[in-house]
Chains A and B, each alone.
Chain A
Amino acid sequence: MQKRIALIGNPNVGKSTLFNELTGLKQHTGNWSGKTVGVAVGKYKNLTIYDLPGTYSLIPHSKEEEITSEFVISNNYDIALIVCDSTMLERNLNLVIQTLEVTNNVVLCLNMIDELSIKGISIDIDALSRILGIPVVGISAKKKKGINKLIDAINNFESNNLFKIEYKKEIEDSIISIGGVNRFDAIKKIINKENKIVNSYLFDSGIIPLDSIMKTIYDKCNYIIKIVVKKNNKYKYKRKIDKILTNKITGIPIMILMLTIILYISIVGANYPSSILFNFFNWLKNIITKGLIIVHLPSFIRDLLTNGIYQVLTWVVAVMLPPMAIFFPLFTLLEDLGVLPRIAFNLDGYFEKSNACGKQALTMCMGFGCNAVGVTNARIIDSKRERLISILTNSFIPCNGRFPALISIISMFFILKNKLFSSMFNVGVLTLLILLSVFITLIVSKILSKTILKGLPSFFTIELPPYRKPNVIKVIIRSIFDRTLFVLGRAVLIAIPSGIIIWLLANISIGNVSIINILSNFLNPFGRILGLDGIILVSFILGFPANEIVIPIMMMTYLSNSHLVDINNLNIMKDILLSNGWSIKTAICTLIFILFHFPCSTTLLTIKKETSSIKWTLLSFILPLIIGIVLCIIVNILFCLHF
């Protein structure tokens, strides 16, 4: 029989791991709250599984929790499968009891059951099942233990729920008088004070609905825990790692060091495969060109294919693939380990001073991967004002599409004689740039919250989940397939039409001057003010669909002027740039402009979707642009004064 399963649970209980294990879908999991933003649907044999965003309660606070609450209360599924973290059963039971007020068809899954013995806890699963009147199954989603048992429990499920929770008489009266589609629907309405008669009735009886209801639920949880959970007090919560990672002296430097190490490994590790790819693509290009000559293709089509599409495409792959294939897995490892919430914890003071939400540190970190993802993830922020701040500032953080550009320019222009020192110097410059973008994020957040998004920081909490050993091989496979290939695929898709457009712009001439030169000549005076040039600006404009192709476009355009074709390493690239008037100043201004210009089209569309407002979308376009322009002009003036 077909069954629809709603997968519910607190954040961080391994819901998505279980979901992936069952459905084979490659949903990204991470060790922090708010990974699932939206409902993912997957199939396992006869089961259709809806993976809902993690929530602590069915009374929502944030946009993503609302999705879960509505889905669960609508009761439009056959079985609610609640996943709990066995090591924190008491708090998790709150959600179980709330769900039992919606439906009797609940299966409880105690995940991470293998961690219990380490922590000296034992749970009487049979007793828990008896008290709640529902099947309870202990599993370890990560170690794939108990999953068959869980499936059996779902397939053989019969509704035999005997569990009852009784609130104070006045609350019970109110539930009856409100009605609603189920008991929890009524409870939610009571807590949200939606019914005036009930409100005044409860007020007159001296009852605060929220306090009274939650007290009843938590007393029940406490009562259940006392019966089913036995704790061996020998185990103490270990926080040696946290003591170091959040220490007032070592905390922040360690974070920066971690970032630097990841960048170092990505940059140095990417050099070699990058040059192999360049050489391979050049070799292949010669073969393709010869082949095309043999089949007598008209020369302009041949040129369009090889110097247009092929060139841009292979550029994007050779420049982007190696650093991404290293950066993403490393970043994912940190994420799965549970480091990101600690980063938010360490940086929260700065965000509080900027009148912003500490969770903005999380969306900022997601921005390193992709700004569109960072913008979507801002849903984890409860306050609308703080959510907007987080969305508007997200593109200040260089995403993976921009890293290769930053890296290649830095390694061309910031060189030391010693090779080892040189790469360390490169990483240092890149780290400084990232710190600059974080700094600007904080300043702009502050300015926004003092002007158009006025307000004080709202109530803020964040859970620091236990560190959990990630499955390294899975992380590598998943991050390469999900993220690397996804981002690369997007870049490749855009590179093909872009290659055609750029080639056409470079090869169609009006009165002996190519269109691209007309454009760049037009923008040149403005570019000069910014310490850039017209071609750089044109490249950024043409790179609007995806930042990955900015550098390739720039190189193509310079090339179309200098009639050079083979580029197989950064030295040749640098020579081309130098011969086109680049200096260290141009490099610095370009780096700044890469950090701050306008979000790519995907990010902008996401912002439009998330804010449903043209005003905020426009602002998110203009804001980084103004910052980029101002900073570039300042750098330009400083250079003019000094040299």
Chain B
Amino acid sequence: MHLTDLKIDDVAIIEKLNLFDKEIRRLYDLGFVVGSKVTPVLLSPSKSIKAYLVKDSIVALRDSNASKIEVEYAKENSINR
């Protein structure tokens, strides 16, 4: 499953980053590391970019990039708000 398959508020764990070295570095900096919890929280009006809650901060990723990140649902499936 990919990051883009998640619905808003789904909680998932990052499994694999299928990106180039340079891009992975950037993701590492922002906390997108294998094993990190990640939750999509906002969808842009232009629909091609989403904001994710990762390591207590909100980071936006384009779908074209996020589709290369493999995730798996976390045990606690959805955060209640």
Check if B48 sits within 8 Å of A352, measured CB to CB.
yes
Asked, given contacts A61-B26, A210-B25, A352-B48, whether A90 binds B60 with beta carbons under 8 Å apart, the answer is no
What residues on A are CB-neighbors of B49 within 8 Å?
A: 345, 348-349, 352, 358
A459 to B19, CA, bound (A): 9
Which residue on chain B has the smallest CB distance to residue A242? Answer: B42
A453 to B59, CA, bound (A): 28
A2 to B81, CA, bound (A): 52
Interface membership of B55, Cβ < 8 A:
yes
Check if A346 sits within 8 Å of B46, measured CB to CB.
yes
Check if A348 sits within 8 Å of B62, measured CB to CB.
yes
Interface residues of B in 8-30 (CB under 8 A from A): 19-30
Interface membership of A56, Cβ < 8 A:
yes
Interface membership of B33, Cβ < 8 A:
yes
Interface membership of A59, Cβ < 8 A:
yes
Asked, given contacts A239-B41, A345-B44, A346-B44, whether A463 binds B30 with beta carbons under 8 Å apart, the answer is yes
What residues on A are CB-neighbors of B56 within 8 Å?
A: 87-91
Interface membership of A462, Cβ < 8 A:
yes
Interface membership of A248, Cβ < 8 A:
yes
Option from B21, B29, B55, B64 in Cβ contact (under 8 Å) with A90? B55
Interface mask (A5-49 → B, CB under 8 Å = 1, otherwise 0): 000000000000000000000000000000000000000000000
A242 to B7, CA, bound (A): 17
Whole-angstrom distance from the CB of A247 to the nearest CB of chain B?
7
Which residue on chain A has the smallest CB distance to residue B61? Answer: A461
Which residue on chain A has the smallest CB distance to residue B66? Answer: A461
Whole-angstrom distance from the CB of B7 to the nearest CB of chain A?
15
Interface residues of B in 26-81 (CB under 8 A from A): 26-31, 33-34, 41-49, 51, 53, 55-62, 64-65, 79, 81
Whole-angstrom distance from the CB of B35 to the nearest CB of chain A?
8
A459 to B51, CA, bound (A): 15
What residues on B are CB-neighbors of A463 within 8 Å?
A: 30, 57-60
Check if A461 sits within 8 Å of B45, measured CB to CB.
no
Interface membership of A215, Cβ < 8 A:
yes
What residues on A are CB-neighbors of B81 within 8 Å?
A: 236
Interface membership of A425, Cβ < 8 A:
no
Check if B24 sits within 8 Å of A243, measured CB to CB.
no
Interface membership of A350, Cβ < 8 A:
yes
**Cross-chain pair count, CB within 8 angstroms:** 127
Asked, given contacts A210-B24, A237-B53, whether A462 binds B59 with beta carbons under 8 Å apart, the answer is yes
What residues on B are CB-neighbors of A462 within 8 Å?
A: 59-60
What residues on B are CB-neighbors of A251 within 8 Å?
A: 44-45
Check if A459 sits within 8 Å of B23, measured CB to CB.
yes
A464 to B49, CA, bound (A): 12
Whole-angstrom distance from the CB of B29 to the nearest CB of chain A?
3
What residues on A are CB-neighbors of B43 within 8 Å?
A: 246, 248
Interface residues of A in 198-241 (CB under 8 A from B): 210-211, 214-215, 218, 236-237, 239
Option from A56, A236, A345 in Cβ contact (under 8 Å) with B30? A56
What residues on A are CB-neighbors of B57 within 8 Å?
A: 88, 91, 463, 465
Interface membership of A457, Cβ < 8 A:
yes
What residues on A are CB-neighbors of B79 within 8 Å?
A: 236
Interface membership of A460, Cβ < 8 A:
yes
Check if A348 sits within 8 Å of B51, measured CB to CB.
no
Asked, given contacts A236-B79, A459-B65, whether A91 binds B31 with beta carbons under 8 Å apart, the answer is yes
Whole-angstrom distance from the CB of A97 to the nearest CB of chain B?
13
Asked, given contacts A236-B81, A463-B59, A463-B60, whether A56 binds B48 with beta carbons under 8 Å apart, the answer is no
A215 to B33, CA, bound (A): 8
Which residue on chain A has the smallest CB distance to residue B21? Answer: A210
Interface residues of A in 436-471 (CB under 8 A from B): 457, 459-466
Which residue on chain B has the smallest CB distance to residue A229? Answer: B56
What residues on B are CB-neighbors of A457 within 8 Å?
A: 62, 64
Check if A248 sits within 8 Å of B58, measured CB to CB.
no
What residues on B are CB-neighbors of A57 within 8 Å?
A: 25, 28-29
Asked, given contacts A239-B41, A246-B42, A459-B23, whether A91 binds B48 with beta carbons under 8 Å apart, the answer is no
Check if A61 sits within 8 Å of B48, measured CB to CB.
no
Check if B46 sits within 8 Å of A237, measured CB to CB.
no
Check if B46 sits within 8 Å of A350, measured CB to CB.
yes
Whole-angstrom distance from the CB of B41 to the nearest CB of chain A?
6
Interface membership of A277, Cβ < 8 A:
no
Interface membership of A94, Cβ < 8 A:
yes
What residues on B are CB-neighbors of A382 within 8 Å?
A: 26
Interface membership of A288, Cβ < 8 A:
no
A252 to B45, CA, bound (A): 7
What residues on A are CB-neighbors of B65 within 8 Å?
A: 459-461
Asked, given contacts A90-B31, A459-B22, whether A239 binds B62 with beta carbons under 8 Å apart, the answer is no
Interface membership of A347, Cβ < 8 A:
yes
Check if B33 sits within 8 Å of A239, measured CB to CB.
no
What residues on B are CB-neighbors of A239 within 8 Å?
A: 41-42
Q: Which of B20, B46, B59: most chain A CB closer than 10 A?
A: B46
Check if A345 sits within 8 Å of B51, measured CB to CB.
yes
Interface residues of A in 59-101 (CB under 8 A from B): 59, 61, 87-91, 94
Option from A88, A218, A464 in Cβ contact (under 8 Å) with B60? A464
Which residue on chain B has the smallest CB distance to residue A350? Answer: B46
What residues on B are CB-neighbors of A214 within 8 Å?
A: 25, 28, 33
Whole-angstrom distance from the CB of B59 to the nearest CB of chain A?
5
Option from B22, B29, B59, B62 in Cβ contact (under 8 Å) with A352? B62
A463 to B19, CA, bound (A): 19
What residues on A are CB-neighbors of B29 within 8 Å?
A: 56-57, 61, 94
A89 to B57, CA, bound (A): 10
Option from B24, B31, B60 in Cβ contact (under 8 Å) with A348? B60
What residues on B are CB-neighbors of A461 within 8 Å?
A: 26-27, 30, 59-61, 65
What residues on B are CB-neighbors of A352 within 8 Å?
A: 46, 48-49, 62, 64
A236 to B61, CA, bound (A): 22
The interface of chain B, by Cβ under 8 A from chain A, is 19-31, 33-34, 41-49, 51, 53, 55-62, 64-65, 79, 81
Please give me the 3 A-B residue pairs with the lowest Cβ-Cβ distance, nearest first: A349-B46, A56-B29, A251-B45
Further pairs besides A90-B56, A246-B51: 5, Cβ < 8 Å:
A242-B41, A247-B45, A352-B62, A461-B65, A462-B60
10 contacts between A and B (CB under 8 A): A90-B55, A91-B30, A91-B55, A346-B46, A349-B48, A352-B64, A463-B58, A463-B60, A464-B51, A464-B60
